[in-house]
Chains A and B, each alone.
Chain A
């Protein structure tokens, strides 16, 4: 794995209950953090396996967005593997800005742009 992401590769994120709207849709704040939003790339794994691996570390709802949707919205995906997680990546707003803009986050949070792999309890 390297810094190249095919548009269909999926990026997984665990999402706390605080980020869900009452109608069951995701709030865009789920995609914003000034320190870089951590996601796990699928890295060729079946989606279910990637989802379950993440759930085993952070037992919350699990969602994913495609690399393509990130690229369409100029969201930079940085591959930053760690000793404990070789799938780790971060979403940045651009080369020079880490936190996604409200607009970028809103685009990722559109219902058609994410898949829920594990629903909130």
Chain B
């Protein structure tokens, strides 16, 4: 039986994730589900992390198309797990790449251009974010990611060139906080923001 996993708003992941303790339970879990299930990028990442050793044919990133994985399910009723994933941040990725076209003084006041290495780093994070984001350039040749949730809270993260992050978070009650963090913490900060 073919099953398709899509990334999108996901509502039943908690029941699925608790079942995904082994390839066998994965098979059983998928068998219980409709032919097409809906799964968030983050949930899919958890799924892949749990099963990566056996699901080696699956692509590394949750927002990439997942390749056929027959060998994993050899002998089972599942012959193929595919992903028609829609990249949540595809538009943002295109925008981020376009920053490389900004020449020195692109803002009319002497703004700096963007280095390929820096944009590559930012793109890498974009691939790993579990939620949709917006990205904006700064005159320093840096980018800032913005995240919004349904409670009118928002999060801004600027990646510096020295491996640190500048973070500004506004909570739903209007209070806020500003802090710096090491760059490695970026995914945790975003995940924490969405609880």
Contacts and interface: CB of A to CB of B under 8 A. Distances in A.
A14 B138 CA distance: 14
A106 B168 contact: yes
Contacts of B167: 102
B136 A29 contact: yes
Contacts of A35: 110, 139
Interface string B174-195: 0010100000000000000000
B125 to A, nearest CB: 17
Interface residues of B, number: 24
Contacts of B109: 14, 33, 37-38, 58
B138 A102 contact: no
B140 interface: yes
A103 B180 CA distance: 13
Contacts of B107: 14, 16, 18
A34 to B, nearest CB: 5
Interface of B: 99, 102, 106-111, 134, 136-140, 144, 146, 156, 158, 166-168, 170, 176, 178
28 contacts: A14-B107, A14-B109, A16-B108, A18-B99, A18-B106, A18-B107, A19-B137, A21-B134, A27-B136, A27-B144, A27-B146, A29-B144, A32-B139, A33-B138, A33-B139, A33-B140, A34-B139, A34-B140, A35-B139, A37-B109, A38-B109, A60-B108, A101-B166, A102-B144, A102-B156, A102-B166, A102-B168, A106-B168
